Structure 1
């Protein structure tokens, strides 16, 4: 092998090694930060009461929980007092978020949400450009009319398997109509305006604070699950959280 080729191979190995180190560091950061900043009681501490209000849980553990557990939250599915809470950070353009929505979420709802075991909470994490932010506004405009999850499902049902979704204004209006949003003019005004930006930015800030590296990312009782893992992995994590 020539000296030039050996140099190129060496550079490639160093580059690949660097990618592995970065990936491991991101995962460790998420795990460690979730445990220290938002995970609740430290190891060996008494478990937090699942019937406590968010403010009470924050007082008992010393830190604010990642989940909100707000009654009537349009961005949540399930009982606020469910023993297991799954917070998911998602982008409407993310093909792997769409895969989770289509393949895994319906089964988790049927198996765990409907019987009161699991609560699912959505967080906007629009990281793929202006169309992601536009879609996040559109989701909240649909939520104003009580059609958030229907809109969410309509967007993801039409998403490509691998590429990022094309979410123009016209496409989002079509999804709103498909989701049964009654007042489209009001929906469009919300989608084009900035009234939801503070809430969207708050979701982004929460995700960045705990080290979310990309979408989709999940915290199941504050234990991280990254990516659109197989459904069985979510079932395992939920059962583990339930029995811990």
Structure 2
């Protein structure tokens, strides 16, 4: 009887996320997960996903890990990056409460998603994945409706803006050497039950749909409290 009672605050927070998420999706004007979902992730799927470390922020000793599966051409993902991620970095990651792991999940419906993910991977070669992550999301409205060639030129401008060696970036983009890794990341997501973006795996629990900072940090607080009991 004690366990259900101890989980009650956590599920109350989850209910709040469902309400907030519905409003968030209405704001975006794009269809995504209609309500937040919480489901356990199979252990074998977690082990397979760990084969690719993703792009990580935060300490290995953080009590909670959040894995974000996202698509750079997804409007709801951009809203999360623009409206929520700054607070996540400042108040959860930098304070040692959360380790954040970004995994590629380009959707087939987006014609420039693969290109954008490869651009970020190439920036990662020069330790600037997160800088390119921000450029792609903060400028998504500029390139979303462009043809792939025009979007690619914009991505190259972003590379210059964040101080990359553009020649090395160009060589990386021409090689397409991260295509298989990006595809593997998406397959790992599918094996964990990911079907839409963004989807978060929060301490082994799947939450589908974007969210604002407050319900996210309340969920983190509840999970940390559970670990301390």
Normalization by structure 2: what TM-score? 0.74
Where do residues 76-225 of structure 1 align in structure 2 (5 Å cutoff)?
76-127=56-107, 128-160=109-141, 164=144, 166=146, 168-181=151-164, 183-225=165-207
Distance between the aligned counterparts of 2:174 and 2:198, measured in 1? 25
* Structure 1: segments with no counterpart, 5+ residues: 1-22, 39-62
Q: Is the 8 A contact 1:90 1:215 kept in 2?
A: yes
Distance between the aligned counterparts of 1:228 and 1:147, measured in 2? 24
Using a 3 Å threshold, how does the CA distance of structure 1 residues 135 and 197 change in structure 2: closer, same or farther?
same
Compute the displacement of 1:36 (Å).
5.5
* Aligned residue in 2 for 1:9: none
Larger RCO of the pair (alpha carbons < 8 Å, separation 6+) = 2
**Equivalent residues, number:** 190
Moved over 3 A (4+): 35-38, 65-70, 163-167
* Structure 2: segments with no counterpart, 5+ residues: 1-32
Q: Is the 8 A contact 1:82 1:118 kept in 2?
A: yes
Q: Is the 8 A contact 1:87 1:219 kept in 2?
A: yes
CA RMSD of aligned residues (A): 2.7
